């Protein structure tokens, strides 16, 4: 290992976008379908539309900041540069929760669906196999990841188009269906609750900002990649949700974690179910691949900035130009997928991402509207009103997460505060300064008493 090597700029805009879509994984729609359907009480289209609205505001903020700060680190870098390094650390700590649990979701889903297809093989066998394979591909380099991601994302999109075609064909043979939003007034609260979880399905647009130092002309290409990802995901998810809701006004599932698989078999039978498993294997592989890519880059930036121990986290392989230490560490931590539920993993990721989204919106206001004084009428809309709406909406969604997820999320943040205090010795410095201040106050009191006696 050498510490003086740097990340190689090798990604085009489309390669970065495909890596983001691979992290997002269009097939994740089916992975979290049961959880999302249950949380929104069937108002899945409305929940996806609300989530998209919230995400669009935030995606615009990411696009703006990625053009201003074209370096790796995502929200951590933006908050550190625009507001304050300590707040940047806290936001980065929240993102780490998001990124560390994302590979777990990939491995969990992989184990769940493969075990459902091959009951004789325990799910932990599939989890361990995928973990090892993903680690090896990531070590080799990001160009390999980009090539694999592009191919597998295109396969996923083709499968979703096929499912939409089958749903349309079914719909044409049914009586007139009830359109989503027809009874909006009685379902908006449950749709919002679903949206707080469904935001997870759109994650991936922010991940490309962790690859800025490996993207050619990042100042232009990263913002474009961010918006392309949102457009593609919005069209796919909302179209699919509308058709499912119209064909199946009411659904129930034996297992929420495997609800997507049950739904697919209702739509196309065993043949489509087998195809679904094959595409899902490819999708989850690419999700795990890009999840490890993004979290290893974030940890590298933390190491380079000496927030985490630099000798370990801030090193790159001289041969592969990848953060091998981080890849191996995250792969080991991802074995926690053997002992955590999919529902809890999704909520952890949602907490971390929503916290970072709030601060990214605030960063645009601070950096552009206040620091750079960009205050013409169009600029006021773009750099103040839009990000303010995004921050408020995201805060609302964050408050709708269940109390258990919020408690665990804030416990993670508290652990970050304690770690930072230990790492920078802030607690020791504060105590020392307090003792010095108290001593100086006593000295001044003695001097005033002596002067009064004289």
**Run means of pLDDT, 10 residues per run, the chain, 454 residues:** 56 83 84 82 84 87 87 80 89 82 79 79 86 83 72 91 92 69 61 72 76 80 89 91 87 80 90 88 80 81 82 81 85 78 74 88 94 93 93 84 82 88 62 54 61 58
Examine the domain organization and report whether 307 and 454 are in the same domain: no
- Report the pLDDT value the prediction gives residue 431, as an integer from 0 to 100: 47
**pLDDT, position 289:** 79
Among 232, 18, 225, smallest CA distance to 142 is for 18
Statement to judge: residues 76 and 168 lie in one domain = yes
Among residues 58, 102, 63, 66, which one has the least CA distance to residue 355?
Answer: 58
Q: What is the pLDDT of residue 4?
A: 52
pLDDT of res. 264: 92
Q: What is the pLDDT of residue 443?
A: 66
The verdict on residue 145 lying in a domain is yes
Evaluate whether 349 touches 97 at the Cβ level (below 8 Å). Answer: yes
Taking the C-alpha atoms of residue 295 and residue 99, their distance in angstroms, rounded to an integer, is: 5
Statement to judge: residues 170 and 229 lie in one domain = yes
Residues pairing with 316 in the sheet: 2
Q: Give the pLDDT score at 142.
A: 66
At 429 the pLDDT is 52
Q: Are 108 and 344 contacting, i.e. CB atoms less than 8 angstroms apart?
A: no
CATH of the domain at 80: 1.20.1740.10
Q: In terms of domains, do 130 and 141 share one?
A: yes
Within this chain, do residues 104 and 119 fall inside the same structural domain, yes or no? yes
The model carries a pTM of 0.73
Two tokens, residue 349:
């990721």
Query: What's the number of domains the chain is made of?
Result: 2
Cα Rg of the chain (Å, integer): 24
- The parent domain of residue 429 ranges over 402-454
In a domain, 6, yes or no: no
Place of tokens 């006696």: 453
Same domain, yes or no: 279 and 407: no
Q: What are phi and psi of 164, to 5 degrees?
A: -60, -40
């Amino acid at each position: 290992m050498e510490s003086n090597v740097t990340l190689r700029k090798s990604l085009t805009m489309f390669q970065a976008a495909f890596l983001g879509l691979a992290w997002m994984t269009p097939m994740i729609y089916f992975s979290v379908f049961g959880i999302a359907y249950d949380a929104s009480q069937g108002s899945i289209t409305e929940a996806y539309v609300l989530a998209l609205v919230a995400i669009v505001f935030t995606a615009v903020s990411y696009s703006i900041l990625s053009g201003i700060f074209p370096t790796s680190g995502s929200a951590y870098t933006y908050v550190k540069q625009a507001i304050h390094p300590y707040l940047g650390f806290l936001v980065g700590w929240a993102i780490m929760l998001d990124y560390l649990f994302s590979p777990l979701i990939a491995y969990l889903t992989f184990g769940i669906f493969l075990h459902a297809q091959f009951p004789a093989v325990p799910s932990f066998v599939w989890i361990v196999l995928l973990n090892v394979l993903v680690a090896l591909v990531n070590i080799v380099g990001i160009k390999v990841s980009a090539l694999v991601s592009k191919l597998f994302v295109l396969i996923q999109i083709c499968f979703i188009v096929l499912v939409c075609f089958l749903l349309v064909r079914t719909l044409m043979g049914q009586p007139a269906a009830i359109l989503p939003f027809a009874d909006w007034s009685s379902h908006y609260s449950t749709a919002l609750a679903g949206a707080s979880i469904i935001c997870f399905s759109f994650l991936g647009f922010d991940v490309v900002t962790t690859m800025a130092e490996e993207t050619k002309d990042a100042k232009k290409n990263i913002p474009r990649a961010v918006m392309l990802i949102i457009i593609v995901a919005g069209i796919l998810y909302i179209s699919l949700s509308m058709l499912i809701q119209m064909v199946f006004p009411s659904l129930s599932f034996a297992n929420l974690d495997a609800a997507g698989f049950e739904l697919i078999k209702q739509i196309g039978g065993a043949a489509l179910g087998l195809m679904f498993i094959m595409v899902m294997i490819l999708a989850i592989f690419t999700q795990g691949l890009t999840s490890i890519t993004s979290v290893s880059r974030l940890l590298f930036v933390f190491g380079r900035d000496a927030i985490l121990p630099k000798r370990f986290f801030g090193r790159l392989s001289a041969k592969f130009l990848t953060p091998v230490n981080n890849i191996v560490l995250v792969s080991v931590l991802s074995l926690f997928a053997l002992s955590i539920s999919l529902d809890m993993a999704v909520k952890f990721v949602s907490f971390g991402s929503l916290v970072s989204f709030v601060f990214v919106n605030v960063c645009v206001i601070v950096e552009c509207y206040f620091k750079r004084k960009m205050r013409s009428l169009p600029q006021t809309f773009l750099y103040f009103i839009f990000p303010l709406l995004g921050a408020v909406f995201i805060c609302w969604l964050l408050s709708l997460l269940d109390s258990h997820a919020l408690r665990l999320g804030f416990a993670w943040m508290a652990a970050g505060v304690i770690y930072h205090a230990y790492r920078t010795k802030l607690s020791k410095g504060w105590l020392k300064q307090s003792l010095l201040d108290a001593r100086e106050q006593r000295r001044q009191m003695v001097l005033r008493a002596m002067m009064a006696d004289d």
